[in-house]
Amino acid sequence: MVRAQIESGAIGEPLLAYAPRLNGAAGQARLKGRVSLPMVLGVHDFDIGRWMIGSEPVSVVARERRGFLKAKEWDVEDSSVALITFANNALATVELDWVLPDGHPTGFDQRLDVNGTTGRAEPIGHDAGVTMIDSGISTWPDTALWPMIYGRVVGALEKETEHFIDCTRFQREPMVTPNDAQIAVNVALAAQGSAGTGAAVVL
């Protein structure tokens, strides 16, 4: 819906995107340092930022912070921040981390703000519209990504799985192409490389 609004000109020309995707250390308790922040979390926002802005990424500058998770024997970034420049001169900042406190109501915090010449879009991923309070503890149950309703996973995960199955069964072109996936991976690799050297990476 947000992409359709941007295409219609509702916010004017997209100029700047901000995408925090913050998770708790529980994710690394499962992954145990096997994959970097840009590769496991960042690819989502590198891809959707490109889609929302409607332009190709041309350079990436990134920084990372390490130490907190390394003390837990997971040699991976605690936090990573990437600044992406697009061919149309729009910018996107993608902020990633594994250090969200255990007591956070959802266990993750994600959003995507897109500022344009005449307006702004603010899809928020972590607050799905329901608050549950039990013994003084508040939680925000997932109603959008992959909630279990009557014993079945529904939401975005269900929709993307159905789309994949339909494309396979009926030989349809997928909405997300292999080229889209490759570009997102290229940006993730550029973010890793830039964080390691301190220099911008030209795509």
pLDDT of 136 higher than 90: no
At residue 105, the pLDDT reads 74
Say if domain 2-127+180-202 classifies as CATH 3.30.360.10: yes
How does DSSP assign 29-98, residue by residue? Answer: HHHTTSS-HIIIIIHHHHHHHHHHHTS-EEEEEEEEE-STTGGGT--S-SEEEEEEEETTS-EEEEEEEE
Residue 144: Cβ-neighbour burial (10 angstroms; 0-12, 13-18, 19+): middle
pLDDT at 145: 82
Is 127 a residue whose pLDDT tops 80?
Answer: no
pLDDT digits (tens, 9 = 90+) for 70-109: 988 898 999 999 999 999 999 999 999 998 887 777 778 8
pLDDT for 201 beyond 90: yes
Lowest-confidence region among 63-67, 85-89, 142-146, 157-161:
142-146
Q: Is 76 exposed, middle or buried (0-12, 13-18, 19+ CB in 10 A)?
A: buried
pLDDT at 143 over 90: no
Chain mean pLDDT for the chain: 92
pLDDT at 129 over 80: no
pLDDT at res. 72: 86
pLDDT by residue (tens digit) across 29-41?
Answer: 888 889 999 999 9
**Domain spans, the chain:** 2-127+180-202
